[in-house]
Structure 1
C-alpha cells in the first residue's frame, strides 16, 4: 500500500493534475489500510496469545496427571515426561526452585513456540514436559492470517471504490459550479451556480454556490448602477454639447473657431461613444440580420472610408449579419490602426474572417492579455491620443454579432517577446450561424 500511496504524490510533484475523487479515494484507502493492518495485528496477536494460553493450560493439566502417576508408581510412565531436564529454561527453573508449579514459553529460531511445564516432587526431583506448538495451531494461525489479509484487501478496495463514488459526486458538483461561475464571469448574468449544481443534498458546495450567486448579484447590481449613471451623465451631456457645437458653428471664421469646433466635435464623439458603450454593457442589443457577400461589403466600405487602404479578398463568403454593426466594428479597427499604427494598413477577407493589420509598434501587453478596456488605448505608447473606447465598442458590437474579436502582434518568425513588434493584427471571426432572436450565440473555434 505504501507504493500505491506514494505514486500520486510523485505525480503532483511533477506538475500533473490529480482529481479530487482520486485524492479522496487514496485518502480513504490509506486510512482503511492502516485500520485493517492495525486490526489484523491485534486479532493475530490476540489469537496467538489465546492459543498459547490454551497450550500452557493443557501442558499444566498433563503435568499434574504425570505428577500423580509418578508419585504413585515412582516411574516416568507419561509421554515426553522428563526428570531433572538439563535444558529446562532458567526462568522456569527459578520458579521451580521456589517450590512452585509453572509453565513457560520459548521460541525457536524459526519462530515456532515451545511449551514448557515443570513441577517439583517430594523426592526432590523436578518433573517437566516439553512440547512444541502443534501443527494444527500453526495451520489455524495461517488460515486466520490469510483471512485477515483477504479482509484487509477487501476493505481497502471497498474504501477506494467508496472514495471514488463520493469524491466523484463531490467533484462533479464542483465542476458544475466552476463551469457556471465561468459563465457568469463571461457575462451570462442569468446563470446561477446553485441551480447549475442541482441535487437535493445540502453540503458545503451549496454554501459556496450561494456565496458565488450572492457575489454575482451584488456585482451585477453595482455594474448596472454604474452603467445607468454613465448613461445618464452622457445623455445629460448630449444636449449642452450639441448646443455648444451649434454655437461654435456661428462663430466668425478663423483659427480659434476651428479649434473650438474641433474640440466640440471630439466631445460630441466621446459622449456618443460613452452612450454606445453603456447600451452594449446593458446586454439588450440585438442584431438586425441581413445576408451579404462579406468580401464585397468590406471592399466597398473600406474604399468609401479611405481609398488608400489595401483590401484583399482571398475567399468570398455569404454571411448573415448586421451590416451597421459590422461596419462599426470595421471602421473602429481601421481608426485604431490609423491612429496608433503606421501605414500601410491592410485588410484581408478570407471566408468569414476579417483581418486588419498595420505596421506600427503593436498592441500593448495588457490589451493582449485582458482584451479591450474603456479609456485604455490600443497603442503601445501610453502617450497616444484617444480614450480607448473604439476597441471596447468594436468588441461589444462583435459580441452582439456573435463574433469573436482577437488581437495579436506581428514579430519575425522565432523571435522572442522582447523583440519589438512589426505591426498589429485585429482578427474578426464571424460565426457560421447567425445569432438567435434570444441573443444566444454559436460556439466559435
Structure 2
C-alpha cells in the first residue's frame, strides 16, 4: 500500500538546496541545450556547405572531362571512368534521362563520396568519383572541436553567472528571513526592506515591502488590542475595589468568606492584566541596583515560605531591578506550589536561578511555545489560577534583559514519553544589565 509522506518524515527525506545552486543548474542546463542545438546546426550547415562546394567542383571537372572525351574519344582526366559499374543507381537514372548530375553517398566507415556523371556520344556514361578531401575533414573536425570547447565554456560561464545571480538573490532572501525572524521575536523596529538593502529593485523588494506592511498592520492591531485590554482592566479597578470594600463590611460567616475570596481573586486578575498590558507595551524600564544575588534570593524566599530550600552554589554581585526580580521569583514559586509537588528547591549559581519542583512537569505546549496568557498548567482550570503568572514572569525577565527557560526533569536514557520527575524554571540574568532605554550597553 502506497501513501504520501507527511510531517517530520517528509522533512527529513527532503533535500535542502540553495537558491544559487538551483539557479546555476537551471542556467547551465539551458546553456547546455542551447549550445548543443547551435553546435548541431553549425556542424550540419558547415558540412552541407563543404559538400555543395565539392559537388560544384566535381561538376566543373566532369564538364572539362566531357569536352576532352568528345575531342579525343578517351577519358584523359584524373578519376574519370566510362560506364563505371559502381555508379549509384540514383545517379545512373538521372544520366539515362540525358541530364548531367552530381550525387553524394555516405559510408559509415569513412567520409562521403562525391559522384558526377554526364552522358556522352555512343550511349556511354562518363563519371567522376572522388572522396571527401582530408583538408575538408580536418576543417570539419577542427570546427567540431571548437564547438565542443565553446559549449563547455558557455555551460561553465552560465553556471558561474547563475551562482553569482543566485548568490545575490539568496543573500537578500536570507537577510529578509533573518529580519522577519527578528520581527517574529518582537523586535518591532526591524524592517525587512532596510535589512536587505541594495540599489537594484526587484521582486525581493516587493516581498520585503509587503512583509513590512503586514508587520505594521499587525503591530497596530496588537497595540489596539493591548490598549483595549488595559482600558478595560483599568476601568474594572474601581468597581472591583468597591466590591471588595463592600464585602469586607458583610457580617462574618461562610458566605462572606466566599465573596471576599472571589473579590480578591478578581482584584488580582485585574492587576495582573494591567501588568501584562504594560509589559506588552514595551515601555517598562528597569530601576537598577547592585545586589548580592544569593543573599537576596535567600532572604526573599525565606520571607515567602521558610519551608522552601535555598542553596547558594556560587555567590555573585549583579546589577538588576530587585522589585522585578522578586516578582519573577515569586511567580515561579507560586507556579511550582500550585502545579507541582513538594519539595520545591531554589538554587543560585552565579547569575543563574533555578526553581525546581517534583510534580508532573510543565505541559508540552508550554515547553514548545513558552508561557501563554490564560493558559494554566493543568487541564482543569477550575481552582488553578488564571494562567498569567508565567506570562508576567517572562515579561519581567525580558525587561531585566534576562532569559527564562522551562524544562522537565527525566532520568537519563529514558524515552521521551516517560512521565517527568519534576519541572525546573531557569532564570539567566545578563552579564551586563539593560540601560535606561531597555537596550544593552555596547562594550568596546
Q: TM-score range by the shorter chain?
A: over 0.9
CA offsets, 1:90-135, max 9 Å, x none?
2111111222111111122224111111111112111111111111
Name the structure 2 match of 1:396. Answer: 395
Name the structure 2 match of 1:43. Answer: 42
Q: Quick one: distance in 2 between partners of 1:405 and 1:441?
A: 17
Partner SS state of residue 252, structure 1: coil
Name the structure 2 match of 1:355. Answer: 354
Q: Quick one: distance in 1 between partners of 2:61 and 2:216?
A: 86
Name the structure 1 match of 2:16. Answer: 17
Q: What's the offset of the Cα at 1:43? A: 0.3
Q: Quick one: distance in 2 between partners of 1:199 and 1:120?
A: 78
Q: Quick one: distance in 1 between partners of 2:40 and 2:47?
A: 10
Moved over 4 A (4+): 380-384
Q: Quick one: distance in 2 between partners of 1:271 and 1:60?
A: 109
Name the structure 1 match of 2:5. Answer: none
Say if 1:14 and 1:149 are closer, same or farther in 2 by CA, change over 3 A: farther
Query: Are 1:429 and 2:405 an aligned pair?
Result: no
Contact persistence 1:363–1:380 (CA under 8 A): no
Query: Are 1:293 and 2:292 an aligned pair?
Result: yes
Say if 1:384 and 1:75 are closer, same or farther in 2 by CA, change over 3 A: farther
Q: Alignment RMSD, CA only?
A: 1.7
Name the structure 1 match of 2:124. Answer: 125
Q: What's the offset of the Cα at 1:55? A: 0.5
CA offsets, 1:369-391, max 9 Å, x none?
11101000123665661111000
Q: TM-score, normalised by structure 2?
A: 0.94
Gaps of 5+ in 2: 1-10
Gaps of 5+ in 1: 1-11
Q: Quick one: distance in 2 between partners of 1:273 and 1:13?
A: 43
Partner SS state of residue 121, structure 2: coil
Name the structure 2 match of 1:114. Answer: 113
Say if 1:383 and 1:95 are closer, same or farther in 2 by CA, change over 3 A: farther
Deviates more, 1:377-386 or 1:93-102: 377-386
Query: Are 1:170 and 2:169 an aligned pair?
Result: yes
Deviates more, 1:375-384 or 1:352-361: 375-384
Q: Quick one: distance in 1 between partners of 2:295 and 2:122?
A: 130
Contact persistence 1:360–1:424 (CA under 8 A): yes
Partner SS state of residue 123, structure 1: helix
Contact persistence 1:378–1:391 (CA under 8 A): no
Alignment of 1:5-404 (within 5 A): 15-379=14-378, 385-404=384-403
Say if 1:151 and 1:306 are closer, same or farther in 2 by CA, change over 3 A: same
Partner SS state of residue 354, structure 1: strand
Say if 1:442 and 1:126 are closer, same or farther in 2 by CA, change over 3 A: farther
Q: TM-score, normalised by structure 1?
A: 0.94
